[in-house]
Structure 1
Amino acid sequence: MKQEHKAIVAAGIAVLSWSTVASAFKIALKYLSSFELLLVASLTGLLFFFSAVLLQRKWTLVQRLSFADWKRFAWMGLLNPVVYYLVLFWAYDLLPAQVAQPINYTWPIVLLVLLSLFTRKPIARKKYVGMFLSLVGVAFISIGSGHDFGGKSVSAFGVLLAALSAFLWASYWIATNKTKHVDAVVALFACFLLGTFYLIIASTIIGIGINSIAGILSGMYVGAFEIGIPFVCFGYAIRTSHNPALINQLCYLSPFLSLFFIYLFLGEQIAISTYFGLALIVSGIVFNSR
């Protein structure tokens, strides 16, 4: 198989993995609390990244990390996986998957605003068009009629949490700019090593009650297909592809495929407002990326 074909296959695996996790979140949250789900998923992700480091013979790169690197990863690990996923899982616990997923997907718009603030460079006027489209899309999804969502009103607090998750993820991506000198897999391993350590310490304080095989398996699925496999595959695709723009564009398929899985596995009747809102969100992101 040619290198470019391998890159596209790897990107396809990542996109397909990310497309299933919104449904997996909701299934796992039937058996586990947000914290318990994060603990199982983070342990799984850590195991995956540790295996990737060994298989790719990158352990020497871990040993070369400086004290300054470990200090940076100490707070990055607190941001991701701990705070980001706690907020995200809490949002999914309160909202229909078809609402939480598209709002979380607005993180590129949030990233644009944060980069402008940090670099003190004004946002190009044309990009306000993309931002407006995405924000209107969020409004459509958030205000979706109660009838559309099974007669249940959408939790305003859940919407706020989903929006906060987008802010946290954008913040994490800004933080990764400080670790560009570190191999991507090694960086993820370091973040999850420290993040999982924080979670284990917290679990001894607050206590956990994981006693469901279904919960453990669904949590492990989240760890593998939200955290482990897609990040490694997507990173490989970006590094090896001659057309990284195409690889990035494949990601836009993920939220739409996710709606199909939400309908298939969760039985949620996808509201018209969700389709329309998601189309606006993605259109705004694509417009700005171009």
Structure 2
Amino acid sequence: MTNNNKAIVYGIVAVLSWSTVATMFKMALRYYSHYEMLLIASLTALFVFSVAITIQKKWSDLKKIPPKQWGKFALIGLLNPLVYYLVLFKSYSLLPAQIAQPINYSWPIVLLVLLSIFTRTAIPKTKYIGMFFSLAGVTLISLGSGTISGNSLPLPGLLLAFLSAFLWAAYWIVNNLNKEVDFIIALFLSFLFGSIYLLIGTIFVDVDFHSLPGLLSSIYVGTFEMGIPFIFFGLAIRKTGNSALVNQLCYLSPFISLLLIHLILGEQIYTTTYLGLLLIVFGIIFNEYLVKYLTDKQILK
């Protein structure tokens, strides 16, 4: 099997894993608080990364990391998994899965804005078109779904879902500053510190892991949201000669996820959710691929 074929297989594994987790978030939250769920999931992901490091015989690489880098990962672990997933899981506890998931998926648009701020470069005018479509999709999901269901969606949940997109975009920027560290080692260290913070937090937060379904659901989240897909997607990007193709596979994830949310959780998927998600994805694809194509063809100037 060629490296490109391996990359596609790895990418598919990651995408299929991520497609299932929105459903499992809601299932775990039936039994555990968002803090309890994250603690188990983070420890599970840490175990998965430890196994990967053992298989690849990379434990000696930890000794090569200077103290300054350890300090950076202590901060990264504070952002992800601690703050990001606490915010994300809390939004899922307040909102239907079909609402929280697409709003969180708008993070590439937030990333575009943050990169513009940090690099002090103006956003190309043509990319405002894609941003408009994606933000219109978020608005449609946030407002339209509540109107159709007859129940207003809680504002704190909507704000937390959007904040999760902001936090993930910020993590993407920070994490890319540590490219000199092997990606599995980087994941292990960020989740090591995140898990330590969560364990310390149990001094102040009551936790009760009495529920076996909650425990198993949280372990699933740690394995198939944080662990396996992070590793396989990282491998896919490194083995492929066409990173755009691997990235494009990710656009399948939210649509598969909606199907599972309907089939397993029994949520009635609103028309506004489908339309809003299509707008979000179209806006992202427009900015990442169509802008360059249309500019090269001199359709957009």
**What is the TM-score with the length of structure 2 in the denominator?**
0.94
Gaps of 5+ in 1: none
Deviations 1:236-261 (A, max 9, x none): 11100121110000000001111000
TM-aligned CA deviation for residue 144 of structure 1? 2.0
Secondary structure at the counterpart of residue 51 of structure 2: helix
Contact in 1 for aligned 2:104/2:165 (Cα 8 Å): yes
TM-aligned CA deviation for residue 155 of structure 1? 1.2
User: Which amino acid counterpart does residue 134 of structure 1 have in structure 2?
Assistant: S
- Specify the alignment match of 1:248 in structure 2: 247
User: Which amino acid counterpart does residue 276 of structure 1 have in structure 2?
Assistant: L
Q: Distance in 2 between matches of 1:32 and 1:284?
A: 35
Q: Distance in 2 between matches of 1:62 and 1:264?
A: 43
Secondary structure at the counterpart of residue 204 of structure 2: helix
- Specify the alignment match of 2:204 in structure 1: 205
TM-aligned CA deviation for residue 61 of structure 1? 1.3
Deviations 1:47-69 (A, max 9, x none): 00111111111111111111110
Residue correspondences, number: 289
- Specify the alignment match of 2:297 in structure 1: none
Q: Distance in 2 between matches of 1:64 and 1:179?
A: 14
Deviations 1:50-107 (A, max 9, x none): 1111111111111111111000001110000000000000000000000000000011
Alignment of 1:122-137 (within 5 A): 122-137=122-137
Instruction: Identify if the C-alpha distance between structure 1 residues 111 and 147 changes in structure 2 by more than 3 Å, giving closer, same or farther.
Output: closer
Gaps of 5+ in 2: 290-301
Secondary structure at the counterpart of residue 121 of structure 1: coil
- Specify the alignment match of 1:289 in structure 2: 288
Q: Distance in 2 between matches of 1:35 and 1:284?
A: 33
Q: Distance in 1 between matches of 2:145 and 2:180?
A: 48
Matched, 1:47 2:74: no
Give aligned-pair identity as a percent: 58
TM-aligned CA deviation for residue 207 of structure 1? 2.3
Q: Distance in 2 between matches of 1:69 and 1:3?
A: 31
Alignment of 1:1-290 (within 5 A): 1-146=1-146, 148-149=148-149, 151-290=150-289
Q: Distance in 1 between matches of 2:151 and 2:220?
A: 29
Q: Distance in 2 between matches of 1:231 and 1:197?
A: 20
Deviations 1:3-36 (A, max 9, x none): 2221111100100000010000000000000000
Point out 4+ residue stretches in structure 1 off by more than 4 angstroms: none
TM-aligned CA deviation for residue 178 of structure 1? 1.8
Secondary structure at the counterpart of residue 230 of structure 1: helix
User: Which amino acid counterpart does residue 273 of structure 2 have in structure 1?
Assistant: T
User: Which amino acid counterpart does residue 8 of structure 2 have in structure 1?
Assistant: I
**What is the TM-score with the length of structure 1 in the denominator?**
0.98
Q: Distance in 2 between matches of 1:123 and 1:85?
A: 29
User: Which amino acid counterpart does residue 251 of structure 1 have in structure 2?
Assistant: C
Instruction: Identify if the C-alpha distance between structure 1 residues 242 and 145 changes in structure 2 by more than 3 Å, giving closer, same or farther.
Output: closer
Q: Distance in 1 between matches of 2:125 and 2:145?
A: 33
Q: Distance in 1 between matches of 2:191 and 2:281?
A: 29
Deviations 1:122-152 (A, max 9, x none): 0000100000000000000001244633x43
Q: Distance in 2 between matches of 1:154 and 1:76?
A: 32
Contact in 1 for aligned 2:145/2:273 (Cα 8 Å): no
- Specify the alignment match of 2:296 in structure 1: none
Contact in 1 for aligned 2:36/2:209 (Cα 8 Å): yes
Query: Which deviates the most, 138-147 or 239-248?
Result: 138-147
